[in-house]
Amino acid sequence: MKYVFTILLFFTGLNAPKAKQESAFQNGEWFKFEMSYSGFLKAGNATLSLKESNLDGKPVYHVVGKGWTTGAIKLFFKVKDRYESYFDKETGVPYKFIRKIDEGGHTKDIEIQFDHNNREAVVHNKKKKKVKTVATEKDVQDMVSMYYYLRNKIDISSLTQGDEIQTNMFFDAENYGFKLKYLGRETVKTEFGKVKTLKFRPYVMAGRVFKEEESLTLWVSADKNKIPLKIQADLAVGSLRADLIAFKGLKHYFPIEFDN
């Protein structure tokens, strides 16, 4: 599936109030997701790992995201994706983003350096051996750092069903205005038991990939960790689902309800 890992990362953003609160994550956090196509065909796996690091003398978190196809789908459409983000440990602003993918022979090798003082991004397209500078929006995030930055800022008590949330993201060489709607709370069954979640509906562009503008649904744990548990996407052809199947290194207690 060409969009397996892009979908997982792109649609995990949440609202970001100004009030500072305790960090939702820590060094060593790791997630693994399983993808399925049309509800029954295993499509692939994805992982996200977070580690403390240093970039040009600045303390940062380094996130590595990997996605790959498995099973029958791999026989006719092989995907091997790698995403990396280096973002400031205190402010959450991204300094460097890497996207290296091979999706059925469609390849990209892009590295982005962010200059937040001048609101610019220097985009290195290594495949085409081109470099260009693009103006960015205020408080811009890359597609990986956005998830971690906003996890730290969400104020669960302030969310009201029907709220529409907007944020800025920079992807490849373009600025994106990202919007999603809060649908309320729901308890979902997971690999680990029942988990209380916050449910969101991201808005996407209908057409070649997605069936319609409201084709995605996202469930995030309603606790201090705020981790993505499930994503459902209705595609132009079939559907795609991502489920969290393993994790370690969470900073906070993860509340789970077990069936009697």
Q: What is the pLDDT of residues 119-158, one digit of tens each?
A: 999 999 999 999 999 999 988 999 899 889 878 876 777 8
Q: Which two tokens stand for residue 234?
A: 């209705």
Asked, for residue 259, whether it belongs to a domain, the answer is no
What percent of the chain is predicted at pLDDT more than 90?
57
Centre a 10 Å sphere on the Cβ of residue 29 and count the other Cβ atoms it contains.
Answer: 21
Amino acid letter, residue 6: T
What is the CATH number for 202?
2.40.360
Asked, for residue 254, whether it belongs to a domain, the answer is no
Asked, for residue 256, whether it belongs to a domain, the answer is no
Per-residue pLDDT of the chain (260 residues; tens, 9 = 90+): 445 555 556 544 443 444 456 899 999 999 999 999 877 788 899 999 999 999 999 999 999 999 999 988 888 888 999 999 999 999 999 999 999 999 889 999 999 999 999 999 999 999 999 999 999 998 899 989 988 987 887 677 788 898 887 778 898 899 987 777 899 999 999 999 999 999 988 776 554 455 455 568 889 999 999 999 999 887 766 788 999 999 999 999 999 887 65
Please report the beta strands in the chain, taking only residues with DSSP state E, as ranges in sequence order: 30-37, 41-55, 58-69, 79-88, 94-103, 106-115, 120-125, 130-135, 141-142, 164-171, 174-190, 193-202, 216-221, 228-234, 239-248
Asked, for residue 258, whether it belongs to a domain, the answer is no
Q: Are 58 and 88 in contact (CB under 8 A)?
A: yes
Domain range for residue 170? 4-248
Asked, for residue 196, whether it belongs to a domain, the answer is yes
50 vs 27: CA distance, rounded Å: 6
Maximum Cα interatomic distance, the chain, rounded to a whole number of Å: 59
Asked, for residue 67, whether it belongs to a domain, the answer is yes
Cα Rg, the chain, nearest whole Å: 18
Domain total for the chain? 1
Q: Which two tokens stand for residue 130?
A: 């081109």
144 vs 193: CA distance, rounded Å: 27
pTM metric for this prediction: 0.87
